[in-house]
Amino acid sequence: MGERKVTVAAEVGLHARPAATFVQRAKLAPMDITVAKTHGGGPVNGKSILAIMALDVRQGESVVISAEGEGADEVLDELAKIASTP
Amino acid sequence: MTTVLAPMEGTAVGLAAVPDPVFSAGMVGPGTAIDPLRGPGKAVAPIAGKIMKLHPHAYVIVGDDGKGVLVHLGIDTVQLKGAGFQLLAAEGDRVSAGQPVVAWDPSAIEAGGRSPVCPVVALDALSEELTGVAEGAVHVGDELFRWG
């Protein structure tokens, strides 16, 4: 299972624009994507905007994004970049 | 099927009219937007359910079937950090459709240089799942669209 641990940098956390951008990219991936907080919460479906909002990741909190299968590394790199963009 | 009610009085203008690409491009989900009646008012729950997320400027209600509806009060209003909004309910509360959630004044938002237009979005829905999307004048509690 591939995974990336990233710290969410956006002031609004993983909500609003960062959340929408993240889910939009995740939906394009053929495999399941999950997101969990490193300090409790999840894993939740990374393709669901409702699940991501409910996870309620704040600025400065870390998440682990997981995916497996062909192309997972590329998807994870892109999702990690979105989640860590201020 | 979920019937989503207008959370405030105004004019249903469609998401394409929202001056924020996150909403106008449907990135958050399908739905519509209401250009609200100016003046002090109360934004209500568009469906019955639990308040999953409550910010001063936005809230998400999740129904018993797991469907979530986002109401966003104005654009870029997160920047106001709650100023001008009064919470009338609490996160985690169960609310009935039409129950007041946040008191606010769209004209104050507009006076501050922001758009007071309110996206009402069916989270994780496909646009073809929505029918009967209202256009034009709506009163609070009017049917705004049907989902499912």
Q: How far is B52 from chain A (nearest CA, A)?
A: 7
Question: Is the domain B2-147 a CATH 2.70.70.10 member?
Answer: yes
Asked if the Cβ–Cβ distance from B60 to A48 is below 8 Å, we say no
Asked if the Cβ–Cβ distance from B22 to A50 is below 8 Å, we say no
Query: Which of B144, B100, B123, B102 is CA-nearest to residue B11?
Result: B144
Asked if the Cβ–Cβ distance from B123 to A21 is below 8 Å, we say no
Query: If you measure CA to CA, which chain B residue comes closest to A22?
Result: B27
Q: Provide the residue ranges of all domains of chain A, joining segments of one domain with +.
A: 2-83
Query: If you measure CA to CA, which chain B residue comes closest to A56?
Result: B53
* Confidence class for position B100, pLDDT limits 50, 70, 90: very high
* Cβ-contact B19, B72 below 8 angstroms: no
Phi, psi angle pair for B69, to nearest 5° = -120, 130
Single pTM value for the model: 0.94
Q: Is B83 on the interface with A (CB under 8 A)?
A: no
Average pLDDT of every residue of chain B: 97
Average pLDDT of every residue of chain A: 95
Q: Provide the residue ranges of all domains of chain B, joining segments of one domain with +.
A: 2-147
Q: Spell out the CATH class of A2-83.
A: alpha beta
Q: What does the block give as tokens for B87?
A: 């919470």
Instruction: Say how many CB pairs under 8 Å bridge A and B.
Output: 32
Nearest to A48 among B27, B60, B124 (CB): B124
pLDDT tens digits, B7-66: 999 999 999 999 999 999 999 999 999 999 999 999 999 999 999 999 999 999 999 999
Q: What is the dihedral of CA A12, A72, B123, B23, to 10 degrees?
A: 60
Pick from A38-42, B26-30, B92-96, B97-101: least confident? A38-42
* Confidence class for position A16, pLDDT limits 50, 70, 90: confident
